[in-house]
Amino acid sequence: MILVVDSGVWISALHFKGTPLLAVEQMLAQHQIAVCDTILREIRWALVGKFGWTNAEVDEVLVFYLTGTTQVKVRGNLRGICRDPKDDMVFECAALAEASVIVSGDKDLLAVNTYEGIRVMTPREFLQLPESQ
């Protein structure tokens, strides 16, 4: 299965650990994760700007977790999917990667529920999927 992980889940996984990290590790072990530059920029901005990580620390953890992921080029062509227009890029990333799931804790993304067959779910919901056991 191909998945897109929203930046908020990445940030929670890398900084706070817990369920988001368990979900990310499970995804990496059993599935393919797709990411785009916008998600990566948001991760870096939060970890450095809000949580005081150094750029070197972010680089190291991203290389560790993102090796083997699919990099998708989002152009901003998909609009009007999410009530927060900034989040439409997550759906575009998922559509371009042919993902079947977006994992997010963002209420705006979760409110969409399903877009073009792409399910939106929380990290906890992902861990409860039979294919994630």
- Segment 10-62, tens digit of pLDDT: 999 999 999 999 999 999 999 999 999 999 999 999 999 999 999 999 999 99
Nearest 5°: the CA angle 96, 11, 73 is 20
Instruction: Establish if 23 belongs to a structural domain.
Output: yes
* Cα 28 from Cα 105, distance rounded (Å): 18
> Does the pTM of the predicted model rise above 0.85?
yes
The whole-chain average pLDDT of the chain stands at: 95
- Segment 103-115, tens digit of pLDDT: 999 999 999 999 9
Number of domains within the chain: 1
CATH number at residue 76: 3.40.50.1010
Instruction: Establish if 133 belongs to a structural domain.
Output: no
For residue 73, what are the domain limits?
2-128
Burial of 1 (0-12, 13-18, 19+ CB in 10 A): middle
